[in-house]
Amino acid sequence: MTQDTLNFIFIGLSFALYIGIAFRSKAGSTTEYYTAGGGVSPFANGMATAADWMSAATFISMAGTVAITGYDASRFLMGWTGGFVLLTVLMVPYLRKFNKATVPDFIGDRYYSKLARGVAVGCAIFICMTYIMGQMRGVGVVFSQLFGISITSGVIIGGTIVFFYAGLGGMKGITYTQVAQYCVMAFAYAIPAIFIAMALTGNVVPQLGLIGNYTAGGELVPFLEKINNINTELGFSAYTSGKMSTLNMFCITAALMCGTAGLPHVIVRFFTVKDVRAVRKSACWTLAFIAVIYLTAPTIGAFARVNLIEKLHNTPYSEVPAWFQEFEETGQMAWVDKNDDGKIQYFGPAKSAAGTFAVFQGKAPEYPTFEATPDQLTGKYGERLLANKADDSNPNELWFGNDIMVMANPHMAGLPMWVIALLMAGCIAAALSTAAGLLLVLSTSISHDLMKKIIKPDLSDNEEVNYARFASFVALAVAVYFGINPPSQFIAKTVAFAFGLAASSFFPTLLMGIFSSRMNKQGAICGMLAGILFTFGYITYFQFLGGTPDQYLFGITPEGIGFVGMLINFAVAFGVSAFTPCPPEHITEMVENIHIPSASAAARESD
Amino acid sequence: MDKENARAHRKACLHITLALLAVWFFISFGCSILLRDWLDASLPSVGHAPFGFWMAQQGSIIGFVLILVAYAFLMNRLDNKHGYTYTKDK
């Protein structure tokens, strides 16, 4: 059986499963559509939330980032798990008690203002849209690699599938589908890690292997010492020590954590369970399931780095393993023979006088067009040639994308073909589950908060669901369009946007709404606007308008500026509210009410 | 009576929340970022990993899960103590 057939079988089976589940749990009413009727078990919701959280980018690129930056990548590991602590102890139990369908709904009611609701809807749409674009692109890339179709058709196929089960099934449909998707993802992630841990460290548990001994080289060396030695020998900084400044590391971790706690598509997940007690339990399950994957990612990164360097560094091109050529073909690895010795060399910045280690000029490899002559396409050792000029200021010859670590891992370790097929299925599951969750938030923000609460208050239940379906179709069409024509580097950069905006808008506004009964609409709106404008402006200036790193405020990169934006939001909100009238009495009462944990009958009926 | 009970509950709840957040801050920002170099040098390593590095890549994540378990346990106990019960059906 060939690899392609196996891929088809694994992905086909997983799709049949997802669509079967979605079909069985089709939503009938708005509450089923928005929050699955509020009756999902904490365990199932935990799994579904974890699947929702693990996007294609996290699934594929996170381990690669860890492999390349070592300690510095801990900011992602901690930021994207630690945020759930904030989310659970500060947000979701209270928002669940409030018992509304969406996050802008809470902001609109708590701050008794259509303007506040409108700003919140705008933020929700922007955050979800940036995310979903990346997911559609991810699905398209995987499909095109698998089936040899163009990325365009890949994106369209992915979009159609997502529309069918998210647009039609609503929250109920996607929750149960995501449970299945989490299982696929967890297996796809853990199985290669276990195999490789056994091969490199003789330990079945990858997490213990990472802090254990490296056994594959004959004599026993601590694994982390091994990887530190490799790094320093080749001119990189040691794996376990970071390069980033402490302040910057602090700000980025904080922005990612607060952003996580303010992401609307994660918050609404907890509206699907029965009551406040179930929310707490569900949050434990969610973080436990996420932790399984986040504890595995650093091991995959470290193992893959050792494997990659051992297999490729100083290896003559004529002897490289077959997978290297496969990745050259797809443009994910490249070799430029700068010293013309026919061997691949991989060096870090400390090996060159200029302190660089770029293989070629430009950010991504470019290839000669189809009209090029054969000697422009293939070099004398049979390698694929680049159109980029070589960067001769350093001796590094090997280029690979961040995404390659997870995908190439099973190849490098020589694992059986079904593991690779499982990995492909897992990757698609990650992209689809996140896209579906985001799509739902997008469509409900439009149908519920924009149409029903702001534009057309007399909308019936049935019409509202239809609007939601229609909105999800439109949102998906836009996402598919940007998936096919990504605004070049835009998608990668906008991740900073999504977290920065969530941290500087939703997180502080929700927090003050829950814990301060004095906070009024003037304060909240001014705070939100100040936080967003500052963060948006800072990121735009440095990402798109050509700001240079020496202009950074206290050396904080755009990734971490959301934290500063958040502080500004708090400061402005408290400042403005001190000089403006108190919120009306029923709001103060409402705030007191959301702190009483048991579901009161009166609040449910008034819905 | 009802209001007083609610206020006492809210206060106790705030204490639990702040205590857990202090732990959260200590294991993530404290151990893994701010005190990291000092911990690497002065505490015994975990397996072969320097302590601060281990906290940043594995320890803090395990700690977060434990914090949430503790939160669920403490809050449920608090709710029971203050007489907030949950109906079995819907």
For chain B, give the secondary structure using H, E and C. CHHHHHHHHHHHHHHHHHHHHHHHHHHHHHHHHHCHHHHHHHCCCECCECHHHHHHHHHHHHHHHHHHHHHHHHHHHHHHHCCCCCCCCC
> Measuring CA to CA, which residue among A606, A598, A46 is closest to residue A272?
A46
- Residue A107 burial by Cβ neighbours in a 10 Å radius (0-12, 13-18, 19+): buried
Phi, psi for A355 (deg, rounded to 5): 75, 20
CB atoms within 10 A of CB A460: 10
pLDDT higher at A260 or A444: A260
Q: What is the pTM of this model?
A: 0.85
Contact with chain B for residue A256, Cβ under 8 A:
no
Nearest to A253 among B10, B28, B67 (CB): B28
d(CA A249, CA A369): 42
pLDDT higher at A213 or A506: A506
pLDDT higher at A606 or A530: A530
Query: What residues in B contact A280, CB-CB < 8 Å?
Result: 68, 71-72, 75-76
The most confident of A100-109, A233-242, A592-601, B61-70, by mean pLDDT? B61-70
Residue type, A144: S
pLDDT higher at A53 or A272: A53
d(CA A93, CA A97): 6
Contact with chain B for residue A151, Cβ under 8 A:
no
How distant, in Å, are the alpha carbons of A224, A269, A323 from that of A303?
10, 34, 17
What's the whole-number mean pLDDT along residues B50-71?
88
User: Could you tell me if A463 and A211 are in contact, meaning their C-beta atoms sit under 8 angstroms apart?
Assistant: no
- Given a cut of 50, is residue A607 above it in pLDDT? no
Surface of A (264-323) touching B: CB under 8 A: 274-277, 280-281, 283-284, 287-288, 291, 294-295, 298
* Total domains present in chain B: 1
Chain B residues in contact with chain A using a Cβ-Cβ cutoff of 8 Å: 6, 9-10, 13, 17, 20-21, 24, 28-29, 32-34, 40, 46-50, 53-54, 56-58, 60-62, 64-65, 67-69, 71-72, 75-76, 79, 84-87, 90
Bridge partners (DSSP) listed for residue A343: A316
What's the whole-number mean pLDDT along residues A339-366?
75
Find the residue in A nearest to B69 (Cα): A284
Residue B67 forms part of a structural domain: yes
Position of tokens 């049979």?
A: A382
Residue B36 forms part of a structural domain: yes
Q: Give the pLDDT score at A26.
A: 67
Surface of A (79-108) touching B: CB under 8 A: 81-82, 84-86, 88-90, 93
d(CA B27, CA B29): 6
The answer to whether the Cβ–Cβ distance between B79 and A71 falls below 8 Å is no
- Given a cut of 60, is residue A152 above it in pLDDT? yes
Provide CB contacts within 8 A for B8, sequence distance 6+: B82
- The dihedral built from the CA positions of residue B62, B64, B68 and B70, taken in this order, carries a sign that is positive
Taking only the tens place, the pLDDT of each residue in A12-23 is 888 888 878 777
Nearest to A81 among B34, B61, B85 (CB): B61
> Measuring CA to CA, which residue among A197, A544, A604, A84 is closest to residue B28?
A84
d(CA A280, CA A597): 11
Query: What residues in B contact A291, CB-CB < 8 Å?
Result: 61-62, 64-65
Query: What residues in B contact A193, CB-CB < 8 Å?
Result: none
Q: Give the pLDDT score at A568.
A: 92
Which band of pLDDT confidence, cut at 50, 70 and 90, is reported for residue A567?
very high
pLDDT higher at A412 or A35: A412
User: Could you tell me if A513 and A501 are in contact, meaning their C-beta atoms sit under 8 angstroms apart?
Assistant: no
Q: Give the pLDDT score at B62.
A: 92
User: Could you tell me if A281 and A41 are in contact, meaning their C-beta atoms sit under 8 angstroms apart?
Assistant: no
d(CA A271, CA A279): 8
What's the whole-number mean pLDDT along residues A559-580?
88
Contact with chain B for residue A39, Cβ under 8 A:
yes
Q: Give the pLDDT score at B25.
A: 92
- Given a cut of 80, is residue A393 above it in pLDDT? no
> Measuring CA to CA, which residue among A472, A257, A96 is closest to residue A105?
A96
Query: What residues in B contact A560, CB-CB < 8 Å?
Result: none
The most confident of A35-39, A407-411, A433-437, by mean pLDDT? A433-437
Nearest to B33 among A39, A250, A598 (CB): A250
- Given a cut of 60, is residue A432 above it in pLDDT? yes
Suggest the residue from A31, A74, A248, A257 to mutate for an interface test with chain B (most B CBs closer than 10 A).
Answer: A74
- Given a cut of 50, is residue A604 above it in pLDDT? no
Is A343 in a helix, a strand, or coil?
strand
Residue B86 forms part of a structural domain: no
Contact with chain B for residue A249, Cβ under 8 A:
yes
Q: What is the overall mean pLDDT for chain A? A: 80
The answer to whether the Cβ–Cβ distance between B60 and A82 falls below 8 Å is yes
The answer to whether the Cβ–Cβ distance between B47 and A88 falls below 8 Å is no
d(CA A431, CA A152): 16
Query: What residues in A contact B65, CB-CB < 8 Å?
Result: 284, 287-288, 291
Find the residue in B nearest to A275 (Cα): B86
Which residues span the domain enclosing B22?
2-81
Say which range, A160-174, A501-515, B52-66, has the weakest mean pLDDT: A160-174
Buried b (16+ CB within 10 A) or exposed e, A22-46: beebebeebbbbbbbbbebbbbbbb
d(CA A153, CA A144): 8
Residue B88 forms part of a structural domain: no
Residue B60 forms part of a structural domain: yes
The answer to whether the Cβ–Cβ distance between A90 and B17 falls below 8 Å is yes
The answer to whether the Cβ–Cβ distance between A253 and B49 falls below 8 Å is no
pLDDT higher at A354 or B51: B51
Residue B56 forms part of a structural domain: yes
Suggest the residue from A86, A91, A211, A258 to mutate for an interface test with chain B (most B CBs closer than 10 A).
Answer: A211
d(CA B28, CA A83): 11
Say which range, A213-222, A267-276, A288-297, has the weakest mean pLDDT: A213-222
What's the whole-number mean pLDDT along residues A564-576?
91
User: Could you tell me if B21 and A89 are in contact, meaning their C-beta atoms sit under 8 angstroms apart?
Assistant: yes
Global ipTM: 0.89
The answer to whether the Cβ–Cβ distance between B76 and A277 falls below 8 Å is yes
> Measuring CA to CA, which residue among A333, A315, A301, A324 is closest to residue A227?
A301
Contact with chain B for residue A517, Cβ under 8 A:
no
What's the whole-number mean pLDDT along residues A578-583?
82
Query: What residues in B contact A71, CB-CB < 8 Å?
Result: 53, 56-57
Taking only the tens place, the pLDDT of each residue in A282-338 is 889 999 999 998 988 888 888 888 888 887 887 887 777 877 877 777 777 788 877
Q: Give the pLDDT score at A288.
A: 92
Position of tokens 């996007």?
A: A55
Nearest to B56 among A78, A225, A283 (CB): A78
- In DSSP notation, A398-460 reads EEE-TTHHHHHHHHHTT--HHHHHHHHHHHHHHHHHHHHHHHHHHHHIIIIIIIIIII-TT--
Give the count of Cβ contacts less than 8 A between chain A and B: 134
Taking only the tens place, the pLDDT of each residue in A453-467 is 777 777 777 777 778
Suggest the residue from B68, B75, B77 to mutate for an interface test with chain A (most A CBs closer than 10 A).
Answer: B68
Residue A213 gets which letter from DSSP?
E
pLDDT higher at A90 or B44: A90
Residue type, B30: G
Is A580 in a helix, a strand, or coil?
coil
Q: Give the pLDDT score at B64.
A: 92
Structure tokens belonging to residue A306: 């050792």
Q: What is the overall mean pLDDT for chain B? A: 82
Work out the minimum CA distance from B79 to partner chain A, whole angstroms.
Answer: 7
Q: Give the pLDDT score at B63.
A: 92
- Given a cut of 90, is residue B66 above it in pLDDT? yes
d(CA A485, CA A487): 6
The answer to whether the Cβ–Cβ distance between B6 and A596 falls below 8 Å is yes
Bridge partners (DSSP) listed for residue A334: A399
Q: What percent of chain A has pLDDT over 90?
A: 3
Find the residue in B nearest to A251 (Cα): B29
For chain A, the distance separating the N- and C-terminal CA atoms, rounded to the nearest angstrom, is 57
Structure tokens belonging to residue A576: 């403005």
Say which range, A421-425, A508-512, B43-47, has the weakest mean pLDDT: B43-47
The most confident of A86-90, A139-143, A423-427, A463-467, by mean pLDDT? A86-90
Q: Give the pLDDT score at A215.
A: 75
Query: What residues in A contact B24, CB-CB < 8 Å?
Result: 82, 85-86
pLDDT higher at A46 or A29: A46
